[in-house]
Amino acid sequence: MEHIVNPLAAHIQTVKRRLIVIGAAILVSLIFTFSFSADMVGWLNRPFQNQLVFYGPTEALFASIKVSLLAAVILSLPVIFYQCWKFVEPALLPKEQRWAVPLFFLAAGLFALGLVFCNLVILPLVIDFFVSFGLDRDVTPQLSVGTYIDFNVKFLLIFGCAFELPLAMTLLAVTGAVSAKVFARYRKHAILSSLILSAIITPDATLFTMLLMAVPLMALYEIGILGARLFGRSSVDGPMDLPLDPDLPIGTAGTRLR
């Protein structure tokens, strides 16, 4: 009897296979980046300048693994994006396939830009502020490597993901899900959400770090509105252009016939 393949099982197998490839790429990159973990910790230590200490036998090891893992994920981005692309490619129309690769590169570039901005601008300001605050009160700074690296990695990941906001808003406008007018109408809500989100995800809940996170988010939101106006559909509320032939399907599949 002919073997019948379950579409759901085949889909799960495809997801599993691609996740294994991504995991293997990150693991190989982690082995490579771990050999440079001391240099990366030294690079992140630039704003502090003092010698970092560790208070537990495994603290230095886990700090090195954490910074190496971040570098491994960044190094594996081409493999991650390629696997994501091959997963969604069968569901895309030819026109959408031509746009997918530039969008993946744009997403990677924005993520990298967020990391660079955070490392060169935000982190030096944050660390200098807190260290100077302690020095003004005659407190000698002695930071543990685990806490310091955790603080840096969280900020880097947050800003890397935050820089994807304009692209996400523009794509929503391009698909017609949300218009630039709607984004502009909810600007006040976005500002309030930025402040609340900054208070939740920043490593400490001080006003200074909240503003350092919230202000770039507000600026990115404005860039997203601009992108939505430039590339979005002129109207998302108009009538849909449905096929007139009653024999043609009018559902989701019908509107995506090649």
Chain mean pLDDT for the chain: 82
Q: What is the pLDDT of residues 148-158, one digit of tens each?
A: 999 899 889 88
CA distance 187 to 37: 41
Q: What is the mean pLDDT of residues 227-253?
A: 56
> How many Å apart are CA 200 and CA 197, to the nearest integer?
5
Structure tokens at 130: 């807190």
Tell me how far apart the alpha carbons of residues 54 and 60 are, in angstroms, rounded to a whole number.
6
Band (pLDDT 50/70/90 cuts) for residue 2 is: very low
Q: How many CB atoms lie within 10 A of CB 217?
A: 21
With H, G, I as helix, E, B as strand and everything else as coil, classify residue 119.
helix
pTM for this one?
Answer: 0.75
Please identify which residue in the block is written with the tokens 């006003």. Answer: 207
